[in-house]
Amino acid sequence: MTRKKLAAFLFALTATASLCSCGIDEPAASVKSSEDDITSVSETDEITEPEASEAESAENEQDQPAEGDEAAEIQQLVDTYFKALDEKDYETLADVTDVELMYYMENGETGTREQYIEFLKTSVDTLVSDPNMEIGAPSEANEHAGMYSDFFKMMDEEGDGELHFADTFKVDGLYTCRMKTSGEAEFSQSADEEDDSISIDFSGSGSFNFDIDFYIIRINGEWKCDPTVGTVIDMYSMFSDMSESMSTVSDDISAEAEEAE
């Protein structure tokens, strides 16, 4: 399977889950920042904290919620997205998401606003609200925005001249929010490759534990929520690393076998 087909397959597998399992009631009240986790103590209590190493200090600094006007804009965008998702407000979803990129991922071309709204209706139609969803405060992660450009370049190379991700979309900013929830659910998902090299069809019920990053990107100069493509990139990277590791092990086994002969 080509990298393009793998990415498209992962997108098909991810899109419905990312768009439809994340609805929450009263989204603004469900957003939990680091301030929610602060335990109050009296002035007489003594607090002893171990000294952190330089590496730990740097990591902790990166994990701090972003501050300032831009962070407030991102927080409002996230709140609007989850409220619209819960209410199935497709007009608003078309305004606050990178629906053009999502549509391009599935269709290989851009569409009209009407087509984008129909695309969202198909994706969000089975939405079930999850009152247990916790959304972390936005954290700035601009240093990782290049993962989108790298992914666009890869898709274009695999597209045999038919795809133009890099020319159509420019991502130069990135924020992340951590999404967490767990519970019991019924599920149904299927995905098929055109050449029948992969076919997945499963359904049932059981417990789930949902804990992933939610991406907000500055795409073509505007901040938009990205509920699917960033997750696809993460999954693609995981599958690629797994494939490379398996290939390395296979090569090592073959080399050992040749030496034994």
Q: pLDDT in tens for each of the 261 residues of the chain?
A: 455 555 555 565 455 455 544 443 333 333 344 344 433 334 444 444 445 555 444 444 444 566 789 999 999 999 999 999 889 999 999 999 999 999 999 899 999 999 999 999 988 765 555 677 889 999 999 999 999 999 999 999 988 889 999 999 999 999 999 988 777 666 555 555 454 444 445 456 667 677 889 999 999 999 999 999 998 898 888 876 554 544 444 454 455 555 655
> How far apart (Å, rounded) are the C-alpha atoms in residues 224 and 95?
8
pLDDT at 160: 83
Which of 240, 186, 247 has the alpha carbon at shortest distance from 20?
A: 186
> How far apart (Å, rounded) are the C-alpha atoms in residues 23 and 83?
8
SS3 110: coil
pLDDT at 59: 45
How crowded is residue 187: how many other Cβ atoms within 10 Å of its Cβ? 15
Per the DSSP assignment, residues forming a β-bridge with 223 are 218
